[in-house]
Amino acid sequence: PDTSDEAAGTGGRRCTHRTIGHSIWCAARHISGSGGCALNRVEFRSAPLIGTILLATVLWFVTFYLTWATFWIKISFSAATLAILSLWLQPNRKEHLKFNMNAFILGFLSASVLYLIFWIGKMVSTVLLPFAGSQIGGIYDKGVGTPIWGIALLLFFITGPAEEFYWRGYLQKNLMVRYVQWQGWLLATAIYAGVHIWSFNFMLIGAAGVAGAFWGAMYWRYKNLAPVIISHSIWSTVIFAVFPM
């Protein structure tokens, strides 16, 4: 089958599909202006991906379940480890990392929207769920003993960017190559929420699912990790260090 750039409709970017059906689907997606197979220029490799998921599960276990060491140091180290590993496994990220004015505006606005979503969520959940208040408080208790300025610096410069490099820039990106894009987004969101199970905190697992779905949808829509990094960094810094709930 013809899998040339023209046949795939990628505007000079080669599509990795190798079947007639996929080529037709890809061309239709690009003609519709949806971004189509931009992510499919990365070949899917299952073994490294599964390995990083297992590592993330272990790191989140150490971070959330084991009580030794400072929580914010542990989460920053865990996120940075996954980010460095993902950059090593998949170093070519330039086409999906564009910091410009639009990225900064979108990042700021989306962080504001997500903060509002969480504020409404807290109001509703504390009315409907008797345990919500104590579990939300339990999330903030993990930071006891760490200076607020230290939490803010770690979240803004390390944890926020590092999490996005791995969870959206590597995991979701590859899952969207392997599966239909909405399935890749959904699976990445489920894994991101799932590793938080070690907290044994229903509200935290739910919060991770909501935030993961939100940032994952941003990355899926804009194919640019920059506004997602900005959004995550601003939101996490504000909600944990500036204006806690």
Rounded to whole angstroms, how far apart are CA atoms 78 and 162? Answer: 9
Angle at 105 between CA 103 and CA 107, to 5 degrees: 65
**Helical ranges in 155-201 per DSSP H:** 160-166, 173-178, 181-194
CA 76 centroid distance within chain: 15
- Residue pLDDT, tens place only, 224-237: 999 999 999 999 99
pLDDT at 95: 66
Tell me, letter by letter, the H, E, C secondary structure of 78-117.
Answer: HHHHHHHHHHHHCCCCHHHCCCCHHHHHHHHHHHHHHHHH
The pTM for the full model equals 0.83
The two structure tokens encoding residue 142:
């993990």
Closest CA to 173 of 106, 220, 226: 220
3-state secondary structure of 145: coil
- Residue pLDDT, tens place only, 130-186: 999 999 999 999 988 999 999 999 999 999 999 999 999 999 999 999 999 999 999
3-state secondary structure of 245: coil
Q: Residue 194: exposed, middle, or buried by beta-carbon count in 10 A (0-12, 13-18, 19+)?
A: middle
